[in-house]
Amino acid sequence: MDFQLPEYNLQLMLPEIVLFVWALVVLSFDLATKRKSGSAVGYLAMAGVLITGIVLAFTGHGQGFGQMFVADSMAVFFKMIFLCAAFMAIGSSFGITKDKIVNHRGEFLGLMLFSTVGMMFLASSNELLSLYVGLELTTIPLFALAAFFKDDKLSVEAGIKYLVVGAFSSALLLYGISFLYGLSGSTDLLLMRLNLAASALMDYPKVAMVFVLATITILAGLGFKLALPPFHQWAPDVYQGAPTPVTAFLSVASKAAGLVAFAKIMVIGLFAYYDPFVAPIDWGMLVGIMAGSAMIVGNVLAVRQTNMKRMLAYSSIAHAGYIMVGMLAMNELGLASVGFYMFAYMFANMGIFAVVALIEERTGSAEIPDYGGFSKSSPFLAVSMTIMLLSLTGIPPLAGFFGKFYVFAAAIRQAGSDPVHQWMYWLVGVGLLTSVVALYYYANVIRTMYFGAQTDVPRIEFTAPALTVILIGVIGTVVFGLMPNVVVEFASQIPISDMIILP
């Protein structure tokens, strides 16, 4: 065998390299200052994320390492989301790095940055191996982050649950991927797509059995990662137990990473089998059922939650359902709508978690009834939280509404243009009905803040970074709701990226 050295194009990987080095700097800075770095290390980490963002903006598109590493619109778009989420998560973690984890600030922030690096690699991977490694680099630091409060039983429990589920889902995913590799003869996603399309025509019966097995294990693995029912039970426990900034990061960035993995494997790799006439198993329909049940389960169970973090966990399950609706609509709107939705969801969710973290630090509680009278003591936070909750509900003209609108538009278009996918009308119907349920529980939080029984909520003091995060959340929510143009233009590039050329 003769190997040909591929073209590296290392400069494409510059953002990742910068962030990786920065993570090491953050780690060693904390050590060098003998763990007395205070909040300086936090600012350092935030600056690193910002710089990475700038570098990313100036790094062009292209392919490197043969075709293993791709920087296309989709990759850049999602990397932006990851970086924003990391920035906001670090910003809202100043409270805990100040009081609770005094001796491990550097590790906390470093792990968060490493996880972000993993996500960025994942977004750029064009190949199953690098995709897998990126995915693991994303999740392994998160296991440690979830269990970061070493003496808090809830946090440790969250950590082990997340670890077992994470590793389990990776194993399922790998087992499925190994069959895909066997069937297609390549780990390259584009080659895989072509080969699978060819094998679908040629030796169908031989392929069918194995393919069904592979699809089911992969879907189960991704289902766990995205917390889609019936693989969602871990999410509420982990979200509730983990430190709040980590929960925020999990619910946005790691979800986005799961989406990217899904888009890469299913939408790109298994594209040929999206057509139920060709596929031995209609994975579109399977995911549709998962998405539908995610919307139902997430929204309905969220109604009875009293813990804010747990409620947001269920609501994030529901949001994953909405996003999958857009993902399933494999037309030129589909992936664009997923991108926009994720973008809108990020601002609102990170902002809400920042407020939740602030309240939790002050009162030690994330129970919704304890928010009673919160609007009196901290009107600014209450208004911000209301705006972001309304965005998640999907009230125009906020960004969340536009995301929902975009997703449903994609689904209706798919249902209308392809008779095979008429069942997507049902999905849209379920989505709409459950949105009304969602309105109920989000409004419930607003109601408690404004009209609820008075509890002695002290005035919440906020630090500059937390304020920045909340402002970013609110401004992002409002501005991208009123002027979605910029993001829409950007997002609509996703489906015509280098690797995903949809028909």
Partner 1 sequence: MQYYLILAGILFAIGLFGVITRRNTVGILMSLELMFNAANINFVAFNKYVITGDLAGQMFAIFIVAVAAAEATIGLAIVLLIYRNWRGIDTDNYSIMKW
Partner 2 sequence: MESLILSLLIFFPLLGAILVALVPSNQHSTIKGVSLIVSIITMILSFAVYSWFDEVATGMQFEVNYSWVTSLGINYHLGIDGISLLLLVLTTILTVLCIISSWNSVTKGVKGYFVSMLLLSTGMLGVFCALDLFLFYVFWEVMLVPMYFLIGVWGGPRRVYAAIKFVLFTMFGSLLMLVALLYIYFQYQAFSGEYTFDLLKIMGMPIANQAQLWLFGAFALAFAIKVPLWPLHTWLPDAHVQAPTAGSVILAGVLLKMGTYGFIRICLPLFPDATITYMPWICVLAIIAIIYGALVSMVQKDIKSLVAFSSVSHMGFVMLGLFALNMQGMQGAVLQMINHGVSTGALFLIVGMIYERRHTRMIADFGGIAKVMPVFSAFFMIVTLSSIGLPFTNGFVGEFLILLGAFKANYIYGVVAASGVILAACYMLWMYQRVIFGRVTHEENKKLTDLTGREKLVLIPLVILIFWIGIYPKPFLRRIEPAVKVVLSQVSRASTVQLNEKFELEPVPVYGETGEVLEKTLTDNTGANR
Looking at residue 278, its amino acid is V
According to the binding rule CB under 8 A, does residue 367 interact with partner 1?
no
Residue 170 DSSP SS3: helix
Q: Enter the DSSP assignment of 454.
A: P
Cα 290 to Cα 98, 226, 262, 320, 421: the distances in Å are 41, 11, 13, 10, 15
Per CB under 8 A, contacts with partner 1 among 266-305 are 301
Nearest residue (CB) to partner 1, 127 versus 282: 127
- At which residue do the structure tokens 């809108």 appear? 344
Nearest residue (CB) to partner 2, 116 versus 305: 305
Question: Considering CB distances under 5 to 8 angstroms, the limit depending on partner class, which of partner 2, partner 1, none binds residue 436?
Answer: partner 2
Question: Considering CB distances under 5 to 8 angstroms, the limit depending on partner class, which of partner 2, partner 1, none binds residue 185?
Answer: partner 1
Q: Are 53 and 80 in contact, with CB atoms under 8 Å apart?
A: yes
Question: Considering CB distances under 5 to 8 angstroms, the limit depending on partner class, which of partner 1, partner 2, none binds residue 147?
Answer: partner 1
Least Cβ distance, residue 128 to partner 1 (angstroms): 8
Question: Considering CB distances under 5 to 8 angstroms, the limit depending on partner class, which of partner 1, partner 2, none binds residue 179?
Answer: partner 1
Distance CA(354)–CA(248), nearest Å, equals 8
The Cα angle at residue 487 between residues 439 and 433, in degrees rounded to 5: 20
Nearest residue (CB) to partner 2, 70 versus 424: 424
Nearest residue (CB) to partner 2, 7 versus 489: 489
Nearest residue (CB) to partner 2, 56 versus 487: 487
According to the binding rule CB under 8 A, does residue 397 interact with partner 2?
yes
Q: Which of 34, 202, 364, 485 binds partner 2 (CB under 8 A)?
A: 485
- Residue 247 has φ and ψ, to the nearest 5°, of -60, -45
Per-residue three-class SS string for 416-452: HHCHHHCHHHHHHHHHHHHHHHHHHHHHHHHHHHHHC
Nearest residue (CB) to partner 1, 182 versus 429: 182
CA dihedral 217, 221, 227, 232 (to 10 degrees): 60
How many helices, marked H, and strands, marked E, lie in the chain? Answer: 21, 2
Per CB under 8 A, contacts with partner 1 among 146-175 are 147, 150-151, 153-154, 156-157, 159-160, 163-164, 166-168, 170-172, 174-175
125 pairs with which residues across the strands?
A: 69
Nearest residue (CB) to partner 1, 143 versus 211: 143
Instruction: Render 223-267 in DSSP notation, one character per residue.
Output: HHHHT-TTS-THHHHHHHHS-HHHHHHIIIIIHHHHHHHHIIIII
Question: Considering CB distances under 5 to 8 angstroms, the limit depending on partner class, which of partner 1, partner 2, none binds residue 281?
Answer: none
Least Cβ distance, residue 491 to partner 2 (angstroms): 9
Q: Which two tokens stand for residue 354?
A: 């920042």
Least Cβ distance, residue 61 to partner 2 (angstroms): 20
Least Cβ distance, residue 236 to partner 1 (angstroms): 7
Q: Are 341 and 403 in contact, with CB atoms under 8 Å apart?
A: yes
Contacting range for partner 1; rule: CB under 8 A; set: 176-184, 386-394, 402-410, 470-478: 176-184
Q: Are 410 and 337 in contact, with CB atoms under 8 Å apart?
A: yes
With b meaning 16 or more CB within 10 Å and e meaning fewer, what string describes 447-456?
ebbbebeebe
Per CB under 8 A, contacts with partner 2 among 377-396 are 379, 390, 395-396
Residue of 421, 447, 309 lying closest to 366 (CA atoms): 309
Nearest residue (CB) to partner 1, 172 versus 387: 172
Per CB under 8 A, contacts with partner 2 among 429-458 are 429, 432-433, 435-436, 439-440, 443, 447, 450-451
Least Cβ distance, residue 189 to partner 1 (angstroms): 13
With b meaning 16 or more CB within 10 Å and e meaning fewer, what string describes 385-408?
bbbbbbbbbbbeebbbbbbbbbbb
- At which residue do the structure tokens 């929960």 appear? 247
According to the binding rule CB under 8 A, does residue 182 interact with partner 1?
yes
Interacting residue ranges for partner 1, rule: CB under 8 A: 1, 128-129, 132-133, 136, 140, 143-144, 147, 150-151, 153-154, 156-157, 159-160, 163-164, 166-168, 170-172, 174-175, 177-179, 181-182, 185-187, 236-237, 240-241, 301
Interacting residue ranges for partner 2, rule: CB under 8 A: 379, 390, 395-397, 401, 405-406, 408-409, 412-413, 416-417, 428-429, 432-433, 435-436, 439-440, 443, 447, 450-451, 484-485, 488-489, 492
